[in-house]
Amino acid sequence: MIRVALFISGGEKGGSKYQVLKIAEGLKDKVEFTFFTFYEGMLTKDIRDKNFKNYYFKELLPLKKINTILKDENFDLIHTYGFRGNFYGRVPLWNLKIPVVSTYTGFMRDDYNSKIKGILFEKIDNLTLNIPETIIVSSKAILDYVKDRGYKKTIKLIHVGIDIENDFYKREDFGLKEDNFVIGGVMRFEKVKNPLFLIDVFYEVQKKEKHSKLVLVGDGSLRSDIERKIKEYNIEDKVKLLGFRKDAKKIYKIFDVFVLTSLKEGFSISTLEAMSSFLPVVVSDCGGVREMVDDGVNGFIIKDFNKDDFIEKILLFKNKDLRRDFGERNRKKIIDNFLSEKMCNETLKVYEEVIK
């Protein structure tokens, strides 16, 4: 049994949270994970609920305490995620001989609403960037990002994998009709996800298709701005905000088309989940999506946030036959390439290579 100390902030809501828990659960028969977290949030709650051991640190700079625990527990490996996880998991290694692996699931400078904060955290992160023996990335775009920041050692590309969902909600569960043309989005309501642009796009779509509805799953700091824009456009009766849902995977099937308008994406789990739910996708050209979406084959990739292109491609999927053909190709692509078992097995191989 490999003993891994996994360092992560604890407040994650998106891809990092999903990936960490999926790997910890998927490898629990082969790897004993102990979490080190520094913020009380959604992830720390899930760690407790799933009965993983967790050291939670409330104090600022608990480096001495962390160093003592690492010495006493005799871990085989440290695995770090994100700014806090990287800092607290790497700094003690200046005095310890424990190999470290880090994972990057996005672009650090874009993870924060404050651009200055993102740039500052990235510069601090660069100070310890070359401590890890291996860095795992979830897309080619992030691989290039890590190289450009000056990392000199081994980089492993491991795509995020998901579990296939077969139990879906019905439209009637959300007050939708079968003749509605439903555009769906699943995202954090934060600047990098660009939700206000999606509202702008939908406003034009509903002018052309009177039966259209927009359903958004998620929450975040921009929620009030989204609600205000919906009111300004006078489309309250056409937009449903479902909030954050742990059961989001069961909602995709009520959509006719999934839309992603993110400014940047390391690797979009929501797009994978939509594809696995037999949905066509229309996505912005924002990084890792090109490793999922074949433009014109199983979805459309829109360059430069061209609003007219978004509108045109979304409306194409009013055609049921086109929706079916694109959706079936998407489901097959997920099964062939993006299952969680594959992600877990490839991560285990990295652990074994690093500690041998």
Summary mean pLDDT of the chain: 95
Structure confidence at residue 318 (pLDDT): 97
Question: Of all residues in the chain, what percent carry a pLDDT higher than 70?
Answer: 99
Tokens 């699931």 correspond to what residue?
105
Whole-structure pTM value: 0.90
Structure confidence at residue 202 (pLDDT): 98
Among residues 56, 54, 130, which one has the least CA distance to residue 94? 130
pLDDT per residue over 12-33, tens digit each? 877 788 899 999 999 999 999 9
Domains and CATH numbers, the chain: 2-161+339-355 (3.40.50.2000), 171-337 (3.40.50.2000)
Structure confidence at residue 60 (pLDDT): 86
CA distance 102 to 85: 9
Q: Quick one: average pLDDT of 285-310?
A: 94
Give the DSSP H/E element, type plus range, for residue 208: helix 195-208
pLDDT per residue over 205-235, tens digit each? 999 999 999 999 999 999 999 999 999 999 9
Angle between helices 223-233 and 195-208 in degrees, nearest 10: 20
Structure confidence at residue 114 (pLDDT): 80
Residue 179: is its pLDDT beyond 90?
yes
Q: Quick one: average pLDDT of 340-355?
A: 97
pLDDT per residue over 87-143, tens digit each? 999 987 667 889 999 999 989 888 777 889 989 999 999 999 999 999 999 999 999
Structure confidence at residue 153 (pLDDT): 97
pLDDT per residue over 234-263, tens digit each? 999 999 999 999 899 999 999 999 999 999
Among residues 201, 191, 182, 180, which one has the least CA distance to residue 310? 201
Edge to edge, the sheet with strand 31-37 lists 53-56, 31-37, 2-7, 77-81, 100-104, 134-137, 154-157
